Amino acid sequence: MKLKKGVVVCDVGGNPMVICSGEALDLLNGLIHNNKTGDFIFRQLQQETTQEKIVDSMLETFDAPREVIAADAAEFVAEIRKLGLLDE
Amino acid sequence: MLPNLWRKFGSWDFWMNKTIAGELKAGRMVATKTTGVSMRPLLYERKTTAIIEPLRRELQVGELPIYQRPDGYYVIHRVVGVDPAHYYTRGDNCTDIEKIPKSWALGVVVEILRGNRRIRVTDRGYRFYVAFWRWITPVRILYYRVRGKIRSLRKSSASV
């Protein structure tokens, strides 16, 4: 899975956010304000990846038990999927 | 430790156009796709996204505010003049100036997304565009007026 073309993960004035542009404009007219972890997951999704790979990367970066990270990452990715921002 | 905020999906701020004013007044940045032709060649109908930050200061000539008219309509036009109580604005593709009370201004555009291209208002290229557009404005307005006259003359001669 990967973010669709036109879904831009960026930092505007120090605020991590996701904005849709170009072909993806119809998916989200607005923006997603991310915190550090939300931004981390979105950045992982900029290239082809899997949920397991995301969890592995998060384990290297964040200090939390695998099961907690796996459950939360699954929930987060499900929300992104529900918005139609993923190509699978 | 994981900041637990990221688990709360409610902390993602999704909003649609109707809440632009509310978000900006609450001090949050917003982004919206642009519509209309009045800001060509910078903003294109449904092809560009404007990222807007809340207005916390006086606008300067050349800046791009978003304001809301009393009918609720949102407008992004460039500031071409300032007096103590008003801003004077004009679309980059327009000839007429609109005088608006300063209280109408809600935010200011800080970035524009066009396709995969990000244009920051601090970019040299953008600043050159603003300066150049300002410089050619009298010529542009003259061109539009002459073209309008020619068209109306053609129409009236065709209808005779």
The residue type of B37 is V
Nearest 10 degrees: Cα torsion B138, B144, B150, B156: -130
pLDDT tens digits for range A43-75: 999 999 999 999 999 999 888 889 989 988 998
pTM of the model: 0.80
The answer to whether residues B85 and B100 touch, using CB atoms and an 8 Å cutoff, is no
Q: Does A22 touch chain B (CB under 8 A)?
A: yes
**What would the pLDDT profile of B61-109 be if each residue is shown by its tens digit?**
999 999 999 988 899 999 999 999 999 999 999 999 999 999 999 999 9
Nearest Cα of chain B lies from the Cα of A83 at a distance, in angstroms, of 11
**Partners of residue A36 in chain B, C-beta under 8 Å:** 3, 6
d(CA B43, CA B131): 17
* A33–B contact, CB cutoff 8 A: yes
- Point out which residues pair with B112 in neighbouring strands: B50, B119
- Spell out which residues of chain B touch residue A33, defining contact as CB-CB under 8 Å: 11-13, 28-29
CA dihedral A54, A60, A66, A69 (to 10 degrees): -50
Give A-chain residues touching B48 at CB under 8 angstroms: 21
What DSSP designation does B17 have? G
SS3 A6: coil
B35 pLDDT above the threshold of 70: yes
The chain B residue lying nearest A70, using CA atoms, is: B7
DSSP summary character for residue A85:
-
Segment among A10-24, A60-74, B3-17, B75-89 with least mean pLDDT = B3-17
**Contact list, A28 vs chain B (CB under 8 Å):** 14
Query: A35 vs B6: CB contact, 8 Å cut-off?
Result: yes
ipTM of this complex prediction, to 2 decimal places: 0.72
Q: Do B32 and A72 touch (CB under 8 A)?
A: no
* Amino acid of residue B113: L
Which runs of E-coded beta strand occur in chain B?
Answer: 30-33, 48-54, 65-68, 74-76, 78-82, 86-90, 98-101, 105-114, 117-120
Rounded alpha-carbon distances, angstroms, from residue A6 to A46, B25, B60, B113, B146: 11, 28, 32, 10, 40
pLDDT in tens, B114-140: 877 899 999 999 999 999 999 999 999
B145-151, long-range: CB < 8 A, 24+ apart: B145/B95
Q: What band does B5 get if pLDDT is binned at 50, 70 and 90?
A: very low
